[in-house]
């Protein structure tokens, strides 16, 4: 119920504005309502329960019993009985110790997994949000181009009626207009699919608002790999493996156990606990050694040792691989960043070129084919500039996710 109220509180500001969706709001909704985060939270709570259970198993066994009986053959009176027994055994290879140790490590791994899932969800919503923005921008570009082509087609029709343009040029302008209308329909369909994908991931209803452009700073400078959540989880797995290996090694030693038992049993006066002669205290020490089980213990130990060495090798290889992967990500980031100004300059020149081409075509100085080339170049420049801008943002957050840094500086 609290979660539902929280989601409603998050959505209300969006509905009040009734203008646009904001990236931060949708990420917060995703972090609260998506199926992935719910599943991860359940796994984390299960790890907490396992840890509590392991601590509970450390406690001694306490049994309390009470009864009332009557034997009609020998004694017509009711006989009341009660007993209290406390028992605790400790062995050299105490299982409860290893249960607690592994449960603590599993809880740590679950915490890391939950933290990583939050970052993945924030990153996923961010990527889906930018995909919608890209499709939204692409649709607007196609609509603008369709309007532009409609004006050109109208000019060609007027010039055809005055005899300045041929029937072939008129037909070509009509074909170009249909192409742009097709592009608008396809862009609109892509936008609808991407919106459905995003809101399905968020488990909320799409109210049809437009998406606002987030203000994101480019902040990555010479990042170096130290660690990330995935690497930390591998280290935790090594610690768990080391604990299990030590437990296997302890199996080579004799089985030595100590137990203590305190019991009180009274069949006469169950309320009189002061008669201590009815109490029994037992402390026992036992030692045994299974000689023929030694070979099997050795094989189990060697098996655990091989698996442990494999995990250590995996961590070593992962550390080197992560450094190389980060270098590749940073190289891609720098390449996209350097291309940003080039794409912006290209778009500015393409826009100027299109304006000149329209004037030249209006006065019959160039052909319709030359004008179409200018339009295509301008269209491609707008789309390329937009995609490069989004690619730069995506690559920055991909690096942050890889390093387990905060996504967008917040999550």
Q: What is the pLDDT of residue 290?
A: 78
Residues 6+ apart with CB under 8 A from 114: 40, 41, 43, 44
Strand ranges of the sheet holding 279-288, from the earlier edge strand across to the other edge: 61-71, 75-91, 255-266, 279-288
- Full pLDDT tens readout for the chain, 411 residues: 455 444 445 454 544 444 789 999 999 999 988 888 889 999 999 999 999 999 998 888 887 777 777 777 666 677 676 777 777 777 778 888 899 999 999 999 999 999 999 999 999 999 999 999 999 888 988 888 888 788 888 888 888 888 888 888 888 888 888 988 999 999 999 999 999 999 999 988 898 888 888 887 777 665 677 889 999 999 999 999 999 999 888 888 887 777 777 666 665 555 555 554 456 777 788 787 777 788 888 898 999 999 999 999 999 999 999 999 999 999 999 999 889 889 999 999 999 999 999 889 888 888 777 887 788 888 889 889 988 989 999 999 999 999 999 998 888
End-to-end CA distance of the chain: 24
Residue 21, φ and ψ in degrees, nearest 5: -90, 145
Q: What is the pLDDT of residue 75?
A: 65
156 within 8 A of 173, measured Cβ to Cβ? yes
CATH of 92-254+291-409, one of 3.30.70.890, 3.40.50.300, 1.20.1600.10, 3.30.70.3270: 1.20.1600.10
8 within 8 A of 205, measured Cβ to Cβ? no
Q: Which long-range contacts (CB under 8 A, 24 or more apart) does 188-197 make?
A: 188/139, 190/135, 190/138, 190/139, 191/132, 191/135, 191/136, 191/138, 191/139, 194/128, 194/131, 194/132, 194/135, 195/132, 197/128
Cα–Cα distance list, 78 to 71, 74, 81, 84, 303 (Å): 8, 11, 10, 21, 61
Helix axes 35-56, 23-33, angle to 10 degrees: 40
157 within 8 A of 174, measured Cβ to Cβ? no
Q: What is the pLDDT of residue 108?
A: 95
Q: What is the pLDDT of residue 68?
A: 75
Classified as helix, coil or strand, 78 is strand
Residue 96, φ and ψ in degrees, nearest 5: -65, -30
Residues 6+ apart with CB under 8 A from 137: 386
């Amino acid at each position: 119920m609290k979660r539902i109220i929280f989601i409603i509180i998050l959505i209300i500001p969006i509905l009040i504005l009734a203008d646009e969706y904001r990236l931060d709001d949708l990420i917060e909704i995703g972090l609260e309502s998506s199926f992935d985060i719910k599943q991860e939270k359940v796994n984390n709570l299960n790890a907490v329960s396992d840890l509590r259970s392991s601590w509970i198993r450390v406690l001694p066994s306490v049994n309390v019993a009470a009864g009332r009986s009557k034997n009609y053959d020998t004694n017509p009176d009711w006989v009341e009985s009660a007993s209290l027994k406390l028992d605790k055994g400790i062995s050299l290879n105490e299982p409860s110790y290893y249960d607690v140790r592994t449960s603590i490590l599993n809880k740590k791994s679950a915490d890391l997994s939950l933290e990583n899932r939050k970052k993945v969800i924030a990153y996923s919503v961010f990527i889906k949000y930018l995909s919608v923005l890209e499709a939204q921008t692409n649709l607007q570009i196609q609509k603008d181009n369709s309007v532009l082509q409609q004006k050109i087609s109208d000019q060609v029709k007027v010039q055809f009626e005055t005899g300045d343009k041929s029937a072939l040029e008129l037909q070509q302008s009509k074909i170009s207009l249909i192409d742009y209308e097709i592009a608008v329909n396809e862009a609109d369909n892509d936008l609808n699919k991407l919106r459905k994908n995003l809101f399905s991931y968020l488990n909320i209803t799409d109210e049809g608002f437009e998406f606002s452009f987030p203000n994101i700073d480019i902040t990555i400078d010479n990042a170096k790999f130290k660690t990330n959540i995935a690497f930390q989880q591998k280290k935790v797995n090594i610690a768990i493996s080391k604990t299990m290996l030590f437990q296997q090694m302890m199996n080579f030693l004799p089985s030595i156990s100590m137990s203590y038992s305190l019991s009180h049993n009274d069949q006469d006066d169950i309320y009189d606990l002061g008669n201590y002669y009815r109490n029994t205290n037992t402390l026992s020490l036992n030692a045994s050694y299974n000689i023929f089980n030694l070979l099997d213990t050795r094989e189990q130990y060697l098996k655990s040792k091989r698996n442990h060495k494999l995990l250590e090798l995996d961590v070593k290889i992962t550390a080197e691989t992560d450094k190389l992967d980060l270098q590749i990500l940073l190289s891609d980031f720098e390449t996209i960043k350097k291309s940003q100004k080039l794409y912006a300059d290209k778009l500015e020149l393409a826009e100027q070129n299109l304006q000149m081409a329209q004037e030249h075509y209006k006065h019959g100085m160039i052909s319709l084919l030359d004008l179409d080339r200018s339009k295509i170049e301008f269209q491609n420049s707008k789309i390329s500039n937009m995609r490069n801008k989004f690619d730069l943002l995506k690559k920055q957050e991909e690096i942050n996710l890889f390093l387990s840094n905060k996504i967008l500086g917040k999550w």
